[in-house]
């Protein structure tokens, strides 16, 4: 059955090359003239984007928060909260990948909160009770879909937690210029592409039935990612490869691909534990876990959907069970073709010390008892062992 859903998304998308020079100032200034510019570890300075942005913003009062790290840490949000409150900021301009945009969304809520912003991560309902600063972003990495959704994922190294949080608003304006992703490294291109694929797979394998609009949408985006990811790896400045990946990333997680769905996700909550404990790259962790998860999830009940995936995404033919198994093998081979690690040892996780704690937390935080293929902590531990 197709479940009831509400779809509401207010993001103004500006897709295409070189639009920001002419359009950025108005997009930002519509919300006021006190701007907090947020960015990461310096890729935007190296590429020249920082200078372009500063030129475009000429005449506005710009404050800066730099150094937002991958798997963004709560300390960056705390520093941002101080700045937005101290300078009574009107609008945040986030320039970077998912980490910069995710942290900026929570900073936008933290302006209107007097306590520690970690409270807002622990309990998203607190964010819905307060205002949120408008966010304009310039996306520089195709992966998370944060440019058109309400989510953020924030890490707290002290408590070894990496948690999702949602706020009331999607970004107000998102500039999606595929050419800005030409400079993304092979490692991050691989990780980003795998992340997009994982978002699609998490929403495809769902207990809702006859949900054909969302399944067809996902199958089409999956074929796109499978085709263009490897091209972007080989030809980093192939515009069409970067353009298809960028729009695929946005479409995969702007809410459309989960319409009518029923259950929660599985691989993401498990990967978030790996990143919380070992600070590994999100997409690489997903790629390690996904084939093992698919093998776990394939059973009598799920084989028809896995076979549909095999036929419509991988163009396979045959009986359900064999198509389902071949589809999982095709997925494994495609993931391995990116030449990022495919085992936990490959990302430096070479012992089982934290397996139990990570498995228990994943089941709790991700409600894995309610997943497409429900998992206990023991199941998650077995999966982690298989991925060693
Ligand atoms: O920090 P800088 O110097 O900018 O370098 C970044 C960073 O080192 C670099 N980079 C970004 N754009 C570049 C570039 N390097 C060269 N050229 C460019 N154009 O790439 C590195 C990784 O950046 P990051 O923002 O961490 O990557 P990504 O966009 O993959 O974001 C990952 C984070 O998003 C979370 C993940 O868990 C992780 O913390 N997620 C957020 C989601 C959401 N909000 O909806 C959903 C996802 O499932 C995901 O969990
Ligand atoms: Zn993800």
Q: What angle do CA 258, 281, 49 make, to 5 degrees?
A: 90
Q: Please state the length of the chain.
A: 388
Mean pLDDT to the nearest integer, 290-316? 98
pLDDT digits (tens, 9 = 90+) for 313-362: 999 999 999 999 999 999 999 999 998 999 999 999 999 999 999 999 99
Closest by Cα among 336, 205, 189 to 248: 189
pLDDT digits (tens, 9 = 90+) for 73-126: 999 999 999 999 999 999 999 999 999 999 999 999 999 999 999 999 999 999
% residues pLDDT > 90 (the chain)? 100
152 lines ligand 1 (CB under 6 A): yes
Mean pLDDT to the nearest integer, 246-262? 98
Distance between CA atoms of residues 9 and 148, nearest Å: 8
Distance between CA atoms of residues 93 and 39, nearest Å: 9
108 lines ligand 1 (CB under 6 A): no
Q: Which atom of ligand 1 is nearest to the CA of 97?
A: 25
Q: What's the whole-number average pLDDT of the chain?
A: 98
The predicted pLDDT at position 45 comes to 97
Q: Helices H, strands E: what count in the chain? A: 16, 8
pLDDT digits (tens, 9 = 90+) for 46-69: 999 999 999 999 999 999 999 999
155 in Cβ contact with 145 (< 8 Å)? no
pLDDT band at 11 (very low <50, low <70, confident <90, very high): very high
From 99, 148, 167, 199, give the residue whose CB has the most ligand 1 atoms within 8 Å, as the site to mutate.
99
Residue nearest to atom 47 of ligand 1 (CA): 144
pLDDT band at 8 (very low <50, low <70, confident <90, very high): very high
Please state the pTM of the whole predicted model. Answer: 0.98
The predicted pLDDT at position 387 comes to 98
Ligand nearest to the CA of 106: 1
% residues pLDDT > 70 (the chain)? 100
pLDDT digits (tens, 9 = 90+) for 263-291: 999 999 999 999 999 999 999 999 999 99
The predicted pLDDT at position 48 comes to 97
**Residue 4 DSSP label:** P
User: What element of type H or E holds 94?
Assistant: strand 91-96
pLDDT digits (tens, 9 = 90+) for 192-210: 999 999 999 999 999 999 9
374 lines ligand 1 (CB under 6 A): no
The strand order across the sheet containing 135-139 reads: 12-15, 173-176, 135-139, 91-96, 34-38, 61-65
Q: Which atom of ligand 1 is nearest to the CA of 145?
A: 45
Tokens of 239: 């515009």
The predicted pLDDT at position 107 comes to 98
């Amino acid at each position: 059955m197709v479940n009831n859903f509400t779809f509401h998304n207010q993001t103004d998308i500006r897709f295409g090359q070189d639009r920001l020079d002419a359009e950025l100032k108005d997009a930002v200034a519509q919300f006021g003239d006190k701007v907090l510019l947020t960015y990461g570890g310096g890729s935007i300075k190296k590429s020249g984007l920082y200078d372009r942005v500063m030129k475009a913003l000429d005449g506005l009062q710009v404050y800066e928060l730099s150094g937002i790290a991958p798997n963004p840490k709560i300390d960056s949000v705390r520093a941002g909260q101080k700045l937005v409150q101290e300078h009574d900021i009107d609008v945040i301009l986030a320039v970077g990948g998912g980490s910069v945009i995710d942290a900026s969304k929570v900073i936008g809520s933290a302006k209107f909160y007097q306590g520690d912003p970690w409270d807002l991560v622990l309990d998203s309902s607190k964010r819905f009770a307060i205002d949120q600063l408008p966010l304009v972003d310039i996306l520089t990495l195709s992966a998370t879909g944060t440019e058109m959704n309400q989510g953020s994922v924030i890490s707290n190294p002290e408590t070894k937690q990496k948690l999702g949080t949602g706020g009331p608003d999607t970004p107000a304006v998102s500039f999606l210029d595929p050419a800005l992703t030409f400079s993304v490294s092979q490692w991050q291109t691989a990780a980003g592409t795998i992340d997009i694929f994982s978002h699609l797979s998490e929403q495809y394998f769902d207990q809702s039935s006859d949900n054909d609009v969302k399944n067809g949408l996902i199958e089409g985006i999956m074929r796109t990612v499978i085709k263009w990811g490897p091209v972007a790896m080989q030809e980093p400045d192939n515009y069409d490869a970067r353009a298809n990946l960028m729009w695929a990333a946005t479409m995969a997680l702007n809410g459309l691909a989960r319409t009518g769905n029923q259950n929660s996700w599985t691989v993401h909550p498990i990967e978030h534990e790996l990143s919380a404990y070992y600070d590994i790259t999100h997409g690489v962790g997903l790629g390690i876990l996904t084939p093992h998860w698919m093998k776990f999830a394939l059973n009598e009940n799920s084989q028809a959907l896995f076979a549909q995936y095999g036929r419509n995404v991988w163009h396979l033919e045959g009986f359900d069970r064999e198509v389902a198994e071949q589809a999982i093998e095709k997925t494994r081979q495609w993931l391995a073709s990116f030449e990022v690690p495919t085992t936990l040892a490959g990302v430096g996780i070479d012992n089982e010390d934290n397996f139990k704690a990570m498995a228990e937390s994943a089941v709790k935080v991700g409600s894995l008892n309610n997943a497409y293929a429900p998992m206990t902590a023991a199941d998650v531990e077995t999966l982690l062992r298989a991925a060693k």
